[in-house]
């Protein structure tokens, strides 16, 4: 890598700039500071910045407006807003509109702030990698995300293998199949935004934790969109947890409103999830997994026709049981 990644901190209070700068000094980030929006925009135009962390209440242009302006000048820069409690609704609105990546409320918790900045840096790095990626690096990006969650080792590759069987059976073109393969590798890439404490939790998640996990399709799709990936791939990432009956997430769309590529990957994803061990339960055998899907998910969670097609491939699939399950080729 070339020059160090840059973090720009914007706040009208000198002592806050100093304090955050001191807090981040141990990282190898290049730290820039600005005391108002004009200074910040000047830096944004002239420097390659990975993350901007901006206060909201400043004389002159507010932080939120600075970040929207920054978005048009440097769309790949990750934007984080610092706000007081009073601005919370504004901050949440900004997140929903995709104007900012996260917000941090003042007074902040050092550990949480640093974590948020690091996640912003990581996200910026992944967008950059996706933009330049050849096929081998797409797979390694998918695998790097699995490292955060050891229980999903090999998940992306297996999901790709199952999805491809189904895509081929469904008569999809070679070009679409290629995108389905890449989308399968990356379908969980939004998990970079979720803490390891949640991903590795021994036992079922609390409601709050599950709400956080539920953000991964939207976060991942946003990364893929920013990296200008093809729509088929964005659709897979965004819609792989939608259910055929509309009870999935995040959009709760139903049936054929869910793009076919996402319905295909959903079958593959569920199958791999129930047939591998998780921290708090053992995985089913491949044939029991197929049975479980047929009796409990046909037409509710999963597209019935695709599920039937998957079932008719059972011979090919259960043959994998005999071989090393990590050894499924996916080319
Ligand atoms: Fe997922
Ligand atoms: Fe998954």
Angle at 307 between CA 306 and CA 308, to 5 degrees: 90
Q: Does 106 fall in a domain?
A: yes
Phi, psi for residue 22 in degrees, rounded to 5: -65, -40
Q: Distance from the CA of 200 to the center of ligand 2, in angstroms? A: 14
pTM to 2 decimal places: 0.82
CA distance 234 to 218: 9
Q: Does 197 lie in the same domain as 78?
A: no
Q: Which CATH number does the domain housing residue 144 bear?
A: 1.10.3210.10
Q: Does 76 fall in a domain?
A: yes
Phi, psi for residue 63 in degrees, rounded to 5: -55, -40
Q: Distance from the CA of 96 to the center of ligand 1, in angstroms? A: 20
**Within 13 Å and on the Cβ side, how many CA atoms surround 139?**
13
Range of the domain at 274: 135-327
Summarize the confidence of residues 137-151 as an average pLDDT.
83
Q: Does 231 lie in the same domain as 159?
A: yes
**145 has a pLDDT exceeding 90:** no
Q: Distance from the CA of 269 to the center of ligand 2, in angstroms? A: 5
Q: Does 195 lie in the same domain as 284?
A: yes
Which of 283, 279, 273, 271 is closest to 316 using CA atoms? Answer: 271
Mean pLDDT of the chain: 90
Q: Does 150 lie in the same domain as 105?
A: no
If you search the block for the tokens 């008569």, which residue do you land on? 171
Q: Distance from the CA of 104 to the center of ligand 2, in angstroms? A: 29
Q: Does 79 lie in the same domain as 164?
A: no
Tens digits of residue pLDDT in 274-306: 999 887 789 999 999 999 999 999 999 999 999
| Closest ligand to residue 220's CA | 1
Q: Residue 131 to residues 141, 150, 227, 240: CA-CA distances in angstroms?
A: 12, 26, 5, 22
Q: Does 217 lie in the same domain as 116?
A: no
Q: Does 1 fall in a domain?
A: no
Kindly report the number of other CB atoms within 10 A of residue 228's CB atom.
Answer: 10
CA distance 139 to 143: 6
pLDDT at position 217, please? 95
Q: Are 100 and 73 in contact (CB under 8 A)?
A: no
Q: Distance from the CA of 50 to the center of ligand 2, in angstroms? A: 28
pLDDT at position 321, please? 57
Q: Distance from the CA of 187 to the center of ligand 1, in angstroms? A: 6
**144 has a pLDDT exceeding 90:** no
Q: Distance from the CA of 250 to the center of ligand 1, in angstroms? A: 11
- DSSP 8-state secondary structure symbol assigned to residue 326: G
Q: What percent of the chain has pLDDT over 90?
A: 69
Higher pLDDT, 98 or 289: 289
| Closest ligand to residue 159's CA | 2
* Phi-psi map region of 47: left, alpha, beta (phi>0 left; psi -120 to 50 alpha): beta
Which of 33, 90, 29, 18 is closest to 57 using CA atoms? Answer: 90
CA distance 113 to 121: 12
Q: Distance from the CA of 188 to the center of ligand 2, in angstroms? A: 5
Residues 328/202/145/211 CA torsion (nearest 10 deg) = 120
Q: Does 151 lie in the same domain as 40?
A: no
Q: Strands 51-55, 102-105: parallel, antiparallel or unpaired by DSSP?
A: unpaired
pLDDT at position 2, please? 58
Residues 6+ apart with CB under 8 A from 123: 78, 101, 192, 193, 223
Ligand 2 is a single-atom ion; what residues have CB below 5 A from it? 188, 269
């Amino acid at each position: 890598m070339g020059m160090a990644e840059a973090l720009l901190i914007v706040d009208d209070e000198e002592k806050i700039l100093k304090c955050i700068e001191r807090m981040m000094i141990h990282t190898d980030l290049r730290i820039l500071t600005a005391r108002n929006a004009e200074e910040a925009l000047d830096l944004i135009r002239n420097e390659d910045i990975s993350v901007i962390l901006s206060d909201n209440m400043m004389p002159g242009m507010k932080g939120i407006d600075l970040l929207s302006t920054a978005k048009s000048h440097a769309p790949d820069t990750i934007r984080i807003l610092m706000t007081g409690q009073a601005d919370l609704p504004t901050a949440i609105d900004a997140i929903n509109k995709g104007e900012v990546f996260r917000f941090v409320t003042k007074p902040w918790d050092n550990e949480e702030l640093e974590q948020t900045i690091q996640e912003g840096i990581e996200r910026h790095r992944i967008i950059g990698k996706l933009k330049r990626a050849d096929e081998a690096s797409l797979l390694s990006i998918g695998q790097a995300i699995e490292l955060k969650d050891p229980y999903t080792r090999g998940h992306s590759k297996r999901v790709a293998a199952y999805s491809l069987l189904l895509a081929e059976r469904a008569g999809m073109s070679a070009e679409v199949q290629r995108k389905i393969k890449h989308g399968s590798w990356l379908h969980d890439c939004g998990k970079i935004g979720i803490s390891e404490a949640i991903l590795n939790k021994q036992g079922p998640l609390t409601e709050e934790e599950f709400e956080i996990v539920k953000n991964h399709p939207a976060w991942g799709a946003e990364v893929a969109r920013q990296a200008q990936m093809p729509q088929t791939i964005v659709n897979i990432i965004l819609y792989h947890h939608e259910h055929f009956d509309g009870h999935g997430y995040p959009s709760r769309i139903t049936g054929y409103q869910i793009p076919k590529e996402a319905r295909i990957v959903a079958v593959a994803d569920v199958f791999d999830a129930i047939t591998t061990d998780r921290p708090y339960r053992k995985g089913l055998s491949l044939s029991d997994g197929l049975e479980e899907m047929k009796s409990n998910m046909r037409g509710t969670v999963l597209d019935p026709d695709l599920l039937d097609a998957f079932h008719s491939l059972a011979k090919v699939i259960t043959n994998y049981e005999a071989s090393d399950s990590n050894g499924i080729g996916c080319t």
